[in-house]
Amino acid sequence: MKTQYYTASSLDGFIATEDDSLEWLFPLGDLNASSYPAFIAEVGALAVGSSTYEWMLRNADQVAAETGSPWPYTQPAWVFTTRQLPVVEAADIRFVKGDVREVHQQMRAAAGSKNIWIVGGGDLAGQFHDAGLLDEIIIQVGSVTLGKGKQIFPRRVLSPTLRLMSVRQMGSSMVELRYEIGK
C-alpha cells in the first residue's frame, strides 16, 4: 500500500521537453519489456497533473493504436486542474484541485490494498512529498539529455537522503533506479 512516483527521465532530469513532447522517450525502450506490467498490476489509483492529462488528450489516437484504448487505465484516476478539461471517453476520471491530502484519502480508500501511482508531473509528486505522503520514487533514466524541459522533481531533498533500494540496467539506453523516501 505505497504511494509511488513512477516515471521516465532524461539523464539531466527532465520528464518532458519544454513543449511537453515525449518523442525522445519512446525509442529508448519497450514498455512491455520493462518493470511497467508488474508495476501497473499493483496500482489501485492514479494521480495525474493537467499537462500530463492534456498529453493524453492530444495523443489519444496514438495511445489507442498502441494500447487499444485512448485511456489505457482501468483504475480510477484523479486529474489535478483548476480548469475545465474534456473527459476522455469511458475513462474513470474525477477532476480535483488544491490540497493533495484530502484527495490522497479518497485515493487510498479506492485503491484498497493496492498502490497509488503519482503519474506526474514532478511538482505534483512534490506536493505529495511535501505532505509526507510519498513513499517511493521509481525512475527509468534514459541515456539522453534534453538540456531543458519539465523537471522530474523540483524539490530539495537533502536530509534524510533518498534511500537507493535497487538498480536495474535495461539494455544500454535505460537504467531503473528505485528510491525509498527517508522519513
- What is the contact surface with ligand NAP in residues (CB under 6 A)? 7-8, 15-16, 20, 22, 25, 49-52, 55, 80-83, 97-98, 100, 119-124, 127, 150
In angstroms, what is the minimal distance from the CB of 119 to ligand NAP?
Answer: 5
* Least spacing, CB of residue 99 vs ligand NAP, in Å: 7
DSSP per position, 73-132: --S-EEEE-SS--PPPTT--EEEE-S-HHHHHHHHHHHHTTSEEEEEE-HHHHHHHHHTT
Burial 63-95 (b: 16+ CB within 10 A, else e): beeeeeebbebebbbbbbeeeeeeebeebebeb
Which one, 97 or 168, has the nearer CB to ligand NAP?
97
Closest CB to ligand NAP among residues 10, 110: 10
Nearest approach, Cβ of residue 159 and ligand NAP (Å): 26
Least distance CB 106 / ligand NAP (angstroms): 14
- Report the residue closest to ligand NAP, judged by CB: 49
Report how far residue 63's alpha carbon sits from residue 78's, in angstroms, rounded to the nearest whole number. Answer: 19
Strand partners, 46: 77, 117
Q: Pick between residue 137 and residue 161 the one whose CB is nearest to ligand NAP.
A: 137
